[in-house]
Amino acid sequence: MKSYPTVEVRDLHVRRGGRLVLPGISLEVAPGRVTGLLGPSGSGKTTLMRAIVGVQIVESGEVTVLGRSAGAPELRRRVGYVTQEASVYGDLTVRENLGYFGRILRALPGRVEEALATVALEERADQIVRTLSGGERSRVSLATALLGHPDLLVLDEPTVGLDPVLRRDLWRTFHDLADGGTTLLVSSHVMDEAERCDDLVLLRDGQVVATGSPDELRRRTGREDLEEAFLVLAEAS
């Protein structure tokens, strides 16, 4: 059985603030895998993610998610999106935030505790979000996206500022989710995170430089280090 891509982007043009951030990009994201979207800051990662989630005004091109046009109302329950800034209410507790978003997503009551455990925030559950550290706040944001059991999770730099142990744990969680059938698209500007992805999309100046698994990219470039592989690929393109 052929598996259709969870996300299909065709010739996408997006202009932000007068600048053509995505000048006609095309790519696919395979289902049930962790795909890393890697590239330097300003390469268009966030814009691409916003277009996939359907919150970005696009100039032209097609974005298909789970067989529907990106941003379709039916997708609002099936796509989870975590922005770089923790988009949660700073004046509520962690549990109150999750409780509210859970009601919107029709999450079962036990789901809040599960999501808290996934991001290791049980002990902070009754703390006001504003008083948490930056890393903790972004975990609250991630937990929120997990509430609705989305089929596609789009995570914009979810591990920035986290301690190494937690970072490793979160990547494990991402793979557990993928094993359970969830598709994950995770952006990062740190190359050492590339290693942890099943597939990679290397982005530069709004263009796809290369795609493939970490091993494929190594084989193609003959470089062991993925950062060097990226350089080879970027210079060749």
Partner 1 sequence: MTLRITLATAARVLRQVRRDRRTLALVLLVPPLLMTLFRYVFDGQPETFDRVGPPLVGIFPFVSLFLVASIAMLRERTTGTLERLMSMPLAKLDLLLGYAIAFALLAVAQASLTAAVSFGLLGLDSTGPVWLVVVLAVANAVLGMALGLFLSAFAQTEFQAVQFMPAFVLPQVLLAGLLVPRDKMAPLLELISYAMPLTYAYDALARATADELGRRLTIDVVLICAFIVLSLVLGATTLRRRTA
Distance in Å, CB of 48 to partner 1, minimum = 15
143 to 162, contacts with partner 1 by CB under 8 A?
144
* All residues at 6 or more sequence positions from 144 whose CB lies less than 8 Å from its CB, including other chains: 82, 88, 97, 98, 101, 115
Selected range binding partner 1 among 100-108, 117-125, 171-179, 187-195, rule: CB under 8 A: 100-108
How many CB atoms sit inside 10 A of residue 43's CB? 22
Question: How many C-beta atoms surround the C-beta of residue 103 within 10 A?
Answer: 11
**Residue with Cβ nearer partner 1 (30 or 128):** 128
Q: Rounded to 5 degrees, what are φ and ψ at 109? A: -55, -40
Task: Tell me the closest approach of the beta carbon of residue 144 to partner 1, in angstroms.
Answer: 7
Considering the complex, state which of residue 29 and residue 147 has its C-beta at the smaller distance from partner 1. Answer: 147
Using DSSP's 3-state secondary structure scheme, residue 12 falls into: strand
Rounded CA gap, 148 and 141, in Å? Answer: 13
Kindly state whether residue 114 participates in binding partner 1, applying the rule CB under 8 A: no
Q: Is 127 in the site for partner 1 (CB under 8 A)?
A: no
Identified binder of partner 1 from the candidate list 40, 60, 67, 85, rule CB under 8 A? 85
For 185, what's the count of Cα atoms within 13 Å in the CB-facing half-sphere? 30
Q: How far is the CB of 166 from partner 1 (least distance, A)?
A: 22
Footprint on this chain of partner 1 (rule: CB under 8 A): 16-17, 53-57, 71, 73, 76-77, 79, 81, 83, 85-92, 96, 100-101, 103-106, 128, 144
